[in-house]
């Protein structure tokens, strides 16, 4: 009799765990997207001597069912000095309306079904005695990888999207 009661209790616990797991799975999770295909064109912010500052905006959203967190965003600019040494190109990622001068990105909660914009700020430095116009006159198209470290109900994940800064787009900034 005791063994039967224990068996029923164990079965009820297992059934309860399965029901809770199914409920949690049906709740969904956050799904952050970086919408690089909807980015704006680059616009000049300032030009001083051998330095050009410009920026563009990339929208993002959460199409998931739960609130998510963007813990960090950053970009990698693919312009190696071995292939093109006349321009040094650096960048920072900020949240629209929260522009910072350091390289810090403050974590951000993104409720389900909402989104905002990231502001990608670039600094281009002419090198080797070139003017900005000369240096950017020969610059190639530059691929940029945009990363966002995100968290929802599941473990930390990284969203990575690419876009291209075209040579024509950068040259138009110094005309």
Q: Where are the domains of the chain?
A: 1-27, 31-174
Instruction: Kindly report the three-state secondary structure assignment for every residue of 88-103.
Output: EEEEEEEECCECCCCC
Q: How high is the pLDDT of residue 47?
A: 92
CB 108 within 8 A of CB 151: no
DSSP state of 169: H
Whole-prediction pTM: 0.82
Q: How high is the pLDDT of residue 10?
A: 84
Residue-wise pLDDT tens for the chain (175 aa)?
A: 777 888 888 888 888 888 877 776 666 789 999 999 999 999 999 999 899 999 999 999 999 999 999 999 999 999 988 888 999 999 999 999 888 888 888 899 999 999 999 999 999 999 999 999 999 988 899 999 999 999 998 889 999 999 999 999 999 998 7
Q: Which residue has the tokens 């968290």?
A: 151
The verdict on domain 31-174 having CATH code 2.60.40 is: yes
Q: How high is the pLDDT of residue 162?
A: 97
Q: How high is the pLDDT of residue 24?
A: 66
Distance CA 144, CA 170 (A): 13
Q: How high is the pLDDT of residue 2?
A: 78
Of residues 96, 99, 58, 62, the one with CA closest to residue 75: 58
Q: For strand 87-95 and strand 108-110, is the pairing parallel, antiparallel, or unpaired?
A: unpaired
């Amino acid at each position: 009799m005791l063994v039967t009661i224990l068996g029923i209790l164990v079965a009820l616990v297992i059934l309860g765990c399965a029901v809770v797991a199914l409920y949690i799975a049906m709740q969904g999770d956050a799904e952050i997207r970086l919408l690089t295909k909807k980015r704006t064109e680059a616009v000049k912010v300032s030009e001083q001597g051998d330095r050009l500052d410009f920026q563009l905006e990339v929208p993002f959203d959460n199409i998931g069912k739960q609130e998510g967190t963007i813990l960090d965003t950053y970009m990698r600019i693919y312009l190696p000095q071995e292939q093109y040494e006349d321009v040094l190109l650096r960048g920072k990622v900020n949240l629209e309306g929260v522009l910072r001068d350091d390289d810090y990105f403050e974590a951000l909660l993104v409720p389900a079904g909402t989104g905002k914009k990231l502001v990608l700020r670039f600094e281009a430095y002419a090198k080797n005695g070139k003017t900005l116009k000369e240096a950017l006159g020969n610059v190639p198209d530059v691929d940029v990888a945009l990363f966002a470290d995100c968290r929802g109900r599941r473990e930390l994940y990284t969203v990575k999207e690419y876009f291209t800064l075209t040579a024509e787009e950068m040259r138009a900034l110094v005309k």
